[in-house]
Structures are given as structure tokens and as C-alpha cells.
Amino acid sequence: MPESLKLTSPETTVELTVTDGAIRATDLRQVATDQGPLASYDPGLVNTASCRSAITYIDGDAGILEYRGYPIEQLAANATHLEVAYLLLYGELPTPEQLTAWENRVNNHRFVHENVRSIIQSYRYDAHPMAKLMSGVASMHTFYPSARQIDDPEARERNIVRLLAKIPTMAAWAYRHSIGRHYVYPNDELGYVDNFLAMLFQSQQLVYRADPRVTRALEILFILHADHEQNCSTNAVRAVASAGNDVYTSVGAGIGALFGPLHGGANEAVLKMLGEIGSVDRVPEFVEGVKNGGARLMGFGHRVYKNYDPRARIIKRACEDVFEVTGVNPLLQVALELEKYALEDEYFIKRRLYPNVDFYSGLIYEALKFPPEMFTVLFAVPRTSGWAAQWLEGITDPQQRITRPKQVYTGHRNRQFIAADER
Ligand code: CMC
């Protein structure tokens, strides 16, 4: 017998069915009084389930993250990013034959139209790479008009594959543009992550070959960043998609949302913060400043996790493998001390604030010689697989309607226009 909830007002009583699931939810579309429908007021959609989804499960209290039911720890230990992308999109892990076919299919689409290169090229040398990536992705439906046929399953799939294949190329070129280096074209001999690293870092070598430990660490980071249910950028993707938009336009909007420092931009902000703190002995002073209303402790806190973010735990371990190759990032000690200090502090304990995915990832990116502006790009590249899966699920869900929330209007009403010279 499903749980139900009774809502009583002087005029009426409504019985609401509560759905099963990790989040207990009721369908507020049913709620009406004699004066009309009753809306929920929920800034930030903190307590609103905006869709149904079978892609990613999070239990924020327990610190659990699963893609299609598989714990993130198992995927990070055993899978590749493209394998996880397949899982997110199709719901099952691929067989070896399916995986080979999938890898070949994605890898065949890595080249981007030369005019996209011109779009990137037209930016000023110091433009943020997220802007270049966003406009590159948003332009893509103009090169592949079939993307607009969102009711055609074959066209949907083809354009998702194109997007997954081309986003590393655009991201790498956005970086090369900022350092004034020639653009490196994709290399068929290299896998998804190795090829990305080659397009980023190739100099005079004929073929750039990354250290396998670095490739594996980036592969793990890609898996951890692939999806995270209805976060700000995924919500943006779904909202834009709900108006009938193609995957490129929708993901372009997601990239814009991810850029924000409270979301994907936090990894860049963490590194700047660690640099400003500078040394272990300045940690207490910085944390006291945060508690007294100064800057936030970046890379800490999460809307959903009220426990250690499971992704942060895995990244913390991956740091060791990368630092074996690159040497230890001197800011690691500051980060470790900051975490220790904050986790023992009443302010953070009371609010259940723990390190999130962005706390340690920047240390790895910096050790790999990425400039801070590239950090959020390194989040956007793998998140594209999650955005695409969420886009597909949204536009094929018969219950989904155009996203159009209500507002609680607080402004003036019915004022009389006053001519400019009388104001
Ligand atoms: N440092 C100091 N205080 C904090 C922090 C922080 N990082 N995060 C939350 N708080 C405090 C906040 O001031 C509030 O205190 P009070 O109840 O006294 O007013 C309380 O904790 C609840 O915070 P909130 O802002 O209501 O929480 P939220 O769920 O709206 O925000 C968040 C979540 C991630 C935006 C926030 O924790 C934050 O700003 N963190 C720093 C930025 C960051 O690391 N973002 C990355 C998030 S994970 C990856 C991703 O989404 O891309």
C-alpha cells in the first residue's frame, strides 16, 4: 500500500500519494484549493524533484554514488571513461564486442569542422576556455542540422556520439589557443584520454605518449565527473532540452551553468584559495576568517552530500599516483591540513560540511601543468556523457513537459504611467 499524505484547508482536503525511492516525493500537480492550484515555493529547487531518472543514484547522508546501480568505487577501479559513457547512455555495461564497436564509433568522429576552429581562433588570447568551449558546442547544430530532429532516434544517437567525440578536441584547442600554440589534430592510434592529452600537450614529438599512470588518473577523474543527477548544469541541460532543443544547444547551456564558482568553477577557486593560504601555519587564520563570514571554504560543502563526497575520497588517493610521476604538489600539505582542521571544527561539523569532488582535483590538474582556467574545462569534457544521457532521458520521457516554474510575485501592481518630464 503506497504511503499517502493528507493536505487539509478550510475548503478542501487533498490526498497525495508519496512515491517510493531514495527521495520520498509527492505529485504537487494535484494540489488544488477552491481558489485554484496551490504551488510550492522552493528557491533553488532544494526540495523539488523535477524529473524521474534511472541514471544516477545518490544517498547524500551515507555518501553513496552509483551510476545505473554500479557503485562509483567499482567503476573508478575497473572501467574506462568511454565504458562508463556507454553505461550512462544505454543503461548496461557493454560486452567486449560492444565496447570495441563503441570506442571505434566515438573515435571516428573526433575531428571537428574547421569553422569551429575559426570560432575558437576568433577569441582574444586571454579569453576563458569555458567561453570558447561553450560557443564551440553551441555552434555544432549548425554544422550537423540533423541534431534538430530530436524525434528521430538515429539522429539523436549520431549527434550524441559526435558530441562525445568532438568535445575533447574543442577543449584541447581552446587551451592551445590560449597559449598561442598550433592546434593538434586527433590521432587514431590513441585512446580517448591519451588522445586528449596528446592534443593538449604535444610539442615537437611525432606522437605524444602520456605516462600510463597519468592517463589512468585522468580516466578515473573523468569517470568520477561523468554524472551527478540533477545538479545545476544538468538541470540547465534538461530545462533547455524541454523546449525541444538539440543535444548541442542543451549541453552548451550546461557548460555555462558549470562555469559558475559555486558549481564546476569551484575546482579553479580551490587552487586559488590554497595558493592564497600559501602555508600550513596560515590554515587556522583562514578557517577563522571563513567562519566570521569571509570567503567560503571552496571545495567544501554540498547540497546533497552531508557526508564525505565519495568522489573526493577516490581523488585523494589518485593524487598519490600522479605525484609519483610529477612530484608532490607543494599545496597538498596545505589542503590536507585545511581538511583536518575544518573536519574537527564545530562550525563545519554542525553544518555537515565535508570535502567535495573539487577539493583535491585541482591539485592533480596543477601537477599535470594545467593552468587553473582549464580545470572547469576538465570537468565539462567528461560531464558531457552525463549531460547527453540526461538530455536523452528527458526528451524521451512522456511525462516531461517544458520547464516553466511559477513565481511568487512581490512587485507593484496596476501603476499609472507617468510621462518622463513629470517623474
Ligand atoms: N564554507 C563555509 N560555509 C559554508 C560552505 C563553505 N564552503 N558551504 C556551506 N556553508 C554554510 C553556509 O554559510 C550555511 O551556513 P548558515 O546555515 O550559518 O547560513 C550552511 O553552510 C548551508 O549552506 P548553503 O549555502 O545553504 O548550502 P547550499 O546547499 O545552498 O550550497 C554549495 C551548496 C556547494 C553551493 C556550498 O556548500 C558552497 O558554496 N560550497 C563552496 C563551493 C564549492 O565547493 N562548490 C562545489 C560543489 S560540488 C561540485 C559541483 O557541484 O560542481
How far apart are the C-alpha atoms of 120 and 113, rounded to whole Å? 12
Query: Is residue 41's pLDDT more than 80?
Result: yes
Going by the DSSP 8-state scheme, the letter that residue 64 receives in this structure is E
Closest CA to ligand 1's atom 22: 351
pLDDT of residue 21: 67
Q: Which whole-number Å values give the CA distances from 231 to 47, 307, 315, 355, in the listed order?
A: 13, 17, 20, 17
pLDDT 10s digits, 353-404: 999 999 999 899 988 989 889 999 999 999 999 999 999 999 999 999 999 9
Query: Which three cell numbers, joined as nine digits, stand for 352?
Result: 555537515
> Please, are residues 346 and 352 in contact by the beta-carbon 8 Å criterion?
no
Query: Is residue 18's pLDDT more than 90?
Result: no
Query: Which three cell numbers, joined as nine digits, stand for 165?
Result: 567525440
pLDDT 10s digits, 45-84: 998 999 999 999 999 999 999 999 999 999 999 999 999 9
Q: Which residues contact 187 (CB under 8 A, 6 or more apart)?
A: 195, 198, 207
The larger pLDDT score, comparing residue 10 to residue 140, is at 140
The amino acid present at 392, given as its one-letter code, is L
263 has catalytic annotation: yes
Query: Is residue 234's pLDDT more than 70?
Result: yes
Closest CA to ligand 1's atom 50: 263
Query: Which three cell numbers, joined as nine digits, stand for 329?
Result: 604538489
pLDDT of residue 320: 86
358 has catalytic annotation: yes
pLDDT of residue 33: 72
Catalytic residue among 113, 263, 321, 397: 263
> Please, are residues 299 and 355 in contact by the beta-carbon 8 Å criterion?
yes
pLDDT 10s digits, 270-325: 999 999 999 999 999 999 999 998 789 999 999 999 999 999 999 988 988 899 99
Does the CB atom of residue 235 touch ligand 1 within 6 A? no
How far apart are the C-alpha atoms of 250 and 385, rounded to whole Å? 13
Say whether 4 sits in a helix, a strand or coil: strand
Ligand 1 atom nearest the C-alpha of 359 is 44
State in Å: Cα 299 to ligand 1 middle.
9
Query: Which three cell numbers, joined as nine digits, stand for 70?
Result: 554500479
> Please, are residues 241 and 232 in contact by the beta-carbon 8 Å criterion?
no
Closest CA to ligand 1's atom 21: 351
- Average confidence (pLDDT) over 190-202: 96
> Please, are residues 29 and 405 in contact by the beta-carbon 8 Å criterion?
no
Catalytic residue among 81, 141, 225, 302: 302
> Please, are residues 168 and 110 in contact by the beta-carbon 8 Å criterion?
yes
How far apart are the C-alpha atoms of 172 and 162, rounded to whole Å? 16
Q: What is the share, in percent, of the chain residues with pLDDT greater than 90?
A: 80
Confidence band for 214, pLDDT divided at 50, 70 and 90: very high
How far apart are the C-alpha atoms of 136 and 151, rounded to whole Å? 24
Nearest to 106 by CA among 45, 28, 169, 44: 169
Closest CA to ligand 1's atom 20: 351
Does the CB atom of residue 300 touch ligand 1 within 6 A? yes
Query: Is residue 2's pLDDT more than 80?
Result: no
pLDDT of residue 9: 75
Q: Which whole-number Å values give the CA distances from 44 to 227, 232, 267, 346, 400, in the listed order?
A: 20, 9, 22, 26, 20
Does the CB atom of residue 358 touch ligand 1 within 6 A? yes
How far apart are the C-alpha atoms of 381 and 166, rounded to whole Å? 10
Query: Is residue 29's pLDDT more than 90?
Result: no
How far apart are the C-alpha atoms of 417 and 410, rounded to whole Å? 19
Query: Which three cell numbers, joined as nine digits, stand for 338?
Result: 585545511
Which single residue is written with the C-alpha cell 524533484?
A: 49
Nearest to 280 by CA among 366, 338, 364, 228: 338
Say whether 219 sits in a helix, a strand or coil: helix
- Average confidence (pLDDT) over 320-336: 90
Q: What is the CA radius of gyration of the chain?
A: 23
pLDDT 10s digits, 120-175: 999 999 999 999 999 999 999 999 999 999 999 999 999 999 999 999 999 999 99
Query: Is residue 24's pLDDT more than 90?
Result: no
Does the CB atom of residue 291 touch ligand 1 within 6 A? no
